[in-house]
């Protein structure tokens, strides 16, 4: 439990209405799963984040940075600590020439839209990814041949002491669904992306095509966190799971999607434990049959 003194101190850094206690995380994840967080705090500015992060490190209170919760499975017991959400309240997008500077809470879809509106190409791939720019950079989100590493030139972060740093593309160590932020306690506040001039109609057509592909292939009518597993070298997770005969495999309310076996979906009342059990069963069977280790892409909290 977080002490009243810590809550009082936080109220000195962010408006009181941005702080809630015992906030159900199911309302903040695309899986629609997750017990209560002791404290949930929405940040409005980098300055607020600097103060809050510095303070929490000083008093040694655990915290977790949340974007849109679209790659996250939160425990049924919730989170014993403070969730710092960088979302809607930090989502400004600025376009200047070929450059887009977005605050970390900006939805990837909105950045993709802004790029299109300015005739800029390079972010079409992100139109249907339901995360924020911050989460997208951390995960090096990508689809259909595009990924954040191809467009990001600078990432502004706050470290645990509240200090600001600017990391260029090479410092980010981008790899498949990986960036250096995964190993350092940095919080992304702003991302600079360099795009190329393109034909507006072609950009629009490409976005439409990719969004339609998603609708056709992905179980978007059920809550999920996207692809549950990373793509194993030389294979596709969905195909391995299908070939293992696990299409529609279900424990409690968690089910291997009938539409796309790479997705585990919440059929309505799934718990985090249900999802974990399905993951474990899928991993076991795929390993037994094909000798391939499936590594989760989703983050567990
Ligand atoms: C239907 C569906 C389709 C999807 N399709 C794709 C796809 O095509 N390609 C793809 O790559 N992903 C896809 N995803 C997964 C997800 O949308 C991406 O990984 C996205 O980038 C996560 O962003 P988020 O803001 O939701 O991050 P969250 O889920 O909130 O967080 C993910 C991780 O990033 C960290 N984080 C978030 N914001 C920050 C920040 N500002 N600073 C530091 N750390 C931060 C969190 O601590 C956590 O470790 C899909 C998900 C769904 C539900």
The predicted-structure confidence for 207-216, as pLDDT tens digits, reads as follows 999 999 999 9
Cα 35 from Cα 37, distance rounded (Å): 7
Ligand 1 pocket test target in 67, 108, 156, 229 with most atoms within 8 Å of CB:
67
**Any idea of the CA torsion for 135, 136, 142, 143, to the nearest 10 degrees?**
80
For residue 263, is pLDDT > 90?
yes
Cα 268 to Cα 157, 245, 261, 299: the distances in Å are 37, 23, 18, 21
Cα 123 to Cα 55, 110, 135: the distances in Å are 36, 10, 15
For residue 228, is pLDDT > 90?
yes
Report the candidate in 106, 108, 73 with the shortest Cα–Cα distance to residue 92: 106
**Mean pLDDT across 237-260:** 98
**If you ran DSSP here, which 8-state letter would residue 107 be given?**
B
How many angstroms does the Cα of residue 69 sit away from the middle of ligand 1?
A: 6
List phi, psi (to 5°) of 71: -135, 35
Residues with CB under 6 A from ligand 1: 30, 64-72, 86, 104, 129-132, 134-136, 138-139, 141-143, 181, 187-188, 218, 220, 224-226, 299
Give pLDDT, residue 129: 97
Number of other CB atoms surrounding residue 193 within 10 Å? 25
Q: Which CATH number fits domain 219-300: 3.40.190.10, 3.90.78.10, 3.40.50.300, 3.20.20.80?
A: 3.90.78.10
Give the CATH fold of the 4-88 domain: 3.30.43
How many angstroms does the Cα of residue 106 sit away from the middle of ligand 1?
A: 12
Nearest CA to ligand 1 atom 47: 65
The share of the chain scoring above pLDDT 70, in percent, equals 100
Q: Under a CB-based contact definition with an 8 Å cutoff, are residues 152 and 172 in contact? A: yes
| 16 CB-contact burial (10 Å; exposed 0-12 / middle 13-18 / buried 19+) | exposed
Cα 133 to Cα 100, 108, 175, 199, 224: the distances in Å are 11, 5, 17, 24, 19
Q: Which CATH number fits domain 91-202: 3.40.800.20, 3.30.420.10, 3.30.465.10, 3.40.50.720?
A: 3.30.465.10
Cα 290 from Cα 259, distance rounded (Å): 22
Give pLDDT, residue 116: 98
How many angstroms does the Cα of residue 271 sit away from the middle of ligand 1?
A: 20
How many angstroms does the Cα of residue 140 sit away from the middle of ligand 1?
A: 9
260 SS3 class: coil
Q: Is 75 marked active-site?
A: no
Nearest CA to ligand 1 atom 37: 135
Ligand 1 pocket test target in 135, 137, 175 with most atoms within 8 Å of CB:
135
Rounded to the nearest integer, the mean pLDDT of the chain is 97
Domains 4-88 and 91-202 share a fold: no
How many angstroms does the Cα of residue 289 sit away from the middle of ligand 1?
A: 30
pTM of the predicted protein model: 0.96
For residue 1, is pLDDT > 90?
no
Domain boundaries, the chain: 4-88, 91-202, 219-300
Q: Is 92 marked active-site?
A: no
Q: 135-162 burial, b if ≥16 CB within 10 A, otherwise e?
A: bbbbbbbbbeebbbbbbbebbbbbbeeb
Number of other CB atoms surrounding residue 250 within 10 Å? 15
- Write out pLDDT tens, residues 44-84: 999 999 999 999 999 999 999 999 999 999 999 999 999 99
Cα 64 from Cα 61, distance rounded (Å): 10
Cα 174 from Cα 55, distance rounded (Å): 30
Tokens of 5: 């003194």
9 SS3 class: helix
Q: Under a CB-based contact definition with an 8 Å cutoff, are residues 67 and 42 in contact? A: no
Cα 183 to Cα 86, 138, 186: the distances in Å are 19, 10, 9
- Write out pLDDT tens, residues 109-159: 999 999 999 999 999 999 999 999 999 999 999 999 999 999 999 999 999
- Write out pLDDT tens, residues 155-192: 999 999 999 999 999 999 999 999 999 999 899 999 99
- Region of 44 (left: φ > 0; alpha: ψ -120 to 50; beta: rest) is alpha
Closest atom, ligand 1, to C-alpha of 64: 47
């Amino acid at each position: 439990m977080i002490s009243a003194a810590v809550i009082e101190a936080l109220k000195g850094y962010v408006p009181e209405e941005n702080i809630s206690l015992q906030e159900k995380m199911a309302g903040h994840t695309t899986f629609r799963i997750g017990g209560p967080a002791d404290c949930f705090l929405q940040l409005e500015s980098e300055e607020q984040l600097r103060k809050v992060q510095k303070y929490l490190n000083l008093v040694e209170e655990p915290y977790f940075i949340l974007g849109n919760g679209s790659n996250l499975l939160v425990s049924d017991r919730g989170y014993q600590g403070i969730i710092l959400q960088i979302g809607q309240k930090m989502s400004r997008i600025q376009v200047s020439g070929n450059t887009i500077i977005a605050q970390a809470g900006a939805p990837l879809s909105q950045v993709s839209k802004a790029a299109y509106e300015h005739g800029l190409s390079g972010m079409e791939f992100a139109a249907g990814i339901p995360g924020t720019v911050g989460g997208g950079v951390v995960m090096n989100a990508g689809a259909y041949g595009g990924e954040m590493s191809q467009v990001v030139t600078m990432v502004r972060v706050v470290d645990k002491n509240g200090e600001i740093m600017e990391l260029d593309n090479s410092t980010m160590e981008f790899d498949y669904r990986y960036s250096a932020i995964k190993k350092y306690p940095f919080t992304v506040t702003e991302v600079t992306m360099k795009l190329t001039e393109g034909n507006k109609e072609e950009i629009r057509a490409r976005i439409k095509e990719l969004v339609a592909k998603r609708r056709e292939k992905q179980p978007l009518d059920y809550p999920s966190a996207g692809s549950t597993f990373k793509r194993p070298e030389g294979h596709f997770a969905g195909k391995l799971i299908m070939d293992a005969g696990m299409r529609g495999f279900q424990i409690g309310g968690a089910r291997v999607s009938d539409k796309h076996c790479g997705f585990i979906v919440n059929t309505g009342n799934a718990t985090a434990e249900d999802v974990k059990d399905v993951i474990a069963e899928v991993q076991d069977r795929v390993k037994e049959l094909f000798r391939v280790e499936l590594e989760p892409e989703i983050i567990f909290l």
